[in-house]
Amino acid sequence: MPIDTTRPFLPVRIAVLTVSDTRSLAEDRSGDTLVGLLTEAGHDLAERTILRDDADHIVAQLHRWIDDVSIDCILTTGGTGVTGRDVTPEAVERVATKMIPGFGELFRWLSFQTIGTSTIQSRACACVARGTYIFALPGSTGAVKDAWNGILRDQLDSRHRPCNFVELMPRLLER
């Protein structure tokens, strides 16, 4: 997709939340991958944490970051599958102002190119929550790379044409 080099790059302040019952920050490869990709692209890591698969704790953390004016965007990794412990999409829906259904649809289409029909098990989703973007990604490093390289790298770049999520940020709270 085209990048308009005549436009300024505006770094996005991004928080990263890993949802996992088994990993610590020291073992969080998908979180590490996200941090590497977003900082390499020129964005700022605002904060990072890891939480167990518990919807109430995830919702509470999302609310803290949504209320923090220094955070523009939240990327979560993990908890988007179909097992009983996978509750990230439900937590995202609880804080959402507006869902962005095209994100999950496009993610699964991209993921299909890599893992075939196994992508059907992903409930990747996105929303706007009181002016903050939230993108919930699966917990594998491959899925994180697919989402970043195939969607988020361009949509979080203010120079991407014909449009991008960054240019909408000032208008997300309009009524």
pLDDT digits (tens, 9 = 90+) for 92-146: 999 999 999 999 999 999 999 999 999 999 999 999 999 999 999 999 999 999 9
Average per-residue pLDDT for the chain: 96
Q: What is the pLDDT of residue 162?
A: 95
Q: What is the pLDDT of residue 20?
A: 94
For residue 167, how many other CB atoms are within 10 A of its CB?
Answer: 14
Instruction: Decide if pLDDT at 69 tops 70.
Output: yes
Instruction: Decide if pLDDT at 72 tops 70.
Output: yes
- Alpha-helical (H) ranges within 4-157 are 29-40, 55-67, 88-95, 101-115, 141-147, 153-155
24 band by pLDDT with thresholds 50, 70 and 90: confident
Copy the structure tokens of residue 38: 């977003």
* Residue (of 85, 91, 79) closest to 138 by Cα position: 79
Amino acid at 24: S
Instruction: Decide if pLDDT at 1 tops 70.
Output: no
Q: In what helix (H) or strand (E) does residue 126 lie, and over which residues does it extend?
A: strand 125-129
Q: What is the pLDDT of residue 73?
A: 98
Bridge-based pairing state of the strands 73-77 and 13-19: parallel
pLDDT digits (tens, 9 = 90+) for 154-174: 999 999 999 999 999 999 998
Instruction: Work out the average pLDDT over 38-48.
Output: 98
For residue 144, how many other CB atoms are within 10 A of its CB?
Answer: 25
Copy the structure tokens of residue 121: 């098990």
Q: Report the alpha-carbon angle 16-148-99, nearest 5.
A: 70
Q: What is the pLDDT of residue 57?
A: 98
47 band by pLDDT with thresholds 50, 70 and 90: very high
